[in-house]
Amino acid sequence: MLDLPFDPIKRAREVEEAVMQGLARKYYRFRPARYYGGIATADLVGCPFLCAYCWNYGRNLHPEMTRDRYYSPQEVANRLLVIVKRKGFNKVRLSGAEPILGEQSFEHLYQVLNDIYKTNPGLDFILETNGLLLGSGPGFVRRLSQFERLGVRVALKGYDDKSFQDISGSERRFFALPMKGLGDMIREGINAWPAIMYEIFGPEGIGKINQELKGYEIRPEELEIEYLEPYPSVLENLKKRSISLHM
């Protein structure tokens, strides 16, 4: 069992080693999903955070132990494009874990984007990320800014450093990095926005995070509110971490 709290940058490097082989990355499924009005989804393995409410906690806790297959960027793009064509969607996304763990996983993501847009430049690509490496990584934001139809949803894990540590399992000193990454993307002209879990933040936490976001010129109406999927494993993890829900 991993001791909490931990250094998420260090853990990101370790996770990247576990889920990457060259530029191929572990995925555990490809599926159509109802979100965003219908979207082709590729579910990854591996995240530097261990959020108490994560529905994919088991895979992300021990990514080195999963028997999921490695897929090249071209294979990922092709599978998403097949779903798009079959279902008549105009959106694709990566979900289930963190797409950006370091240079190697970023290059995988970058090539997936390139391969998709070479085939179908009219698609919207939604990148779901915790923003950690975008706030600390070398030049990642600038490279993403070339993709005009890219939207980046940054899931924030706390409204202050204590709640961030409690929720993500990461050391509180890393609290500001996801918001820095979000601010950098907005300044580069990327369509990026923050998202939070209502039951975790509650009205008071939402007020506090809006004050934090104000420093990055992000307005309250740009904050996306999502709602908890109350899977039994999620509720058990929240209980273990002594995190109360706002209902």
Cα–Cα distance for residue pair 88/104, rounded to 1 Å: 32
Instruction: Identify the CATH class of 8-240.
Output: alpha beta
Cα–Cα distance for residue pair 171/177, rounded to 1 Å: 12
Cα–Cα distance for residue pair 34/184, rounded to 1 Å: 30
220 secondary structure, DSSP code: G
State the alpha helices, DSSP H only, in the chain.
8-19, 57-61, 73-87, 103-119, 140-144, 161-168, 177-187, 198-214, 232-240
- Cβ count near 211 (within 10 Å): 12
Peptide bond into 121 cis (omega under 30): no
pTM as predicted:
0.95
Return the pLDDT at 56: 87
Cα–Cα distance for residue pair 19/227, rounded to 1 Å: 28
HSE-CB for 154 with a 13 A CA cutoff: 28
Residue 139 carries which side chain, given as an amino acid letter?
G
Output the tens digit of pLDDT for each of the chain's 247 residues: 578 999 999 999 999 999 999 999 999 999 999 999 999 999 999 999 999 999 888 888 999 999 999 999 999 999 999 999 999 999 999 999 999 999 999 999 999 999 999 999 999 999 999 999 999 977 999 999 999 999 999 999 999 999 999 999 999 999 999 999 999 999 999 999 999 999 999 999 999 999 999 988 888 999 999 999 898 989 999 999 999 999 8
Number of H helices, E strands in the chain: 9, 9
Per domain, the residue ranges of the chain are 8-240
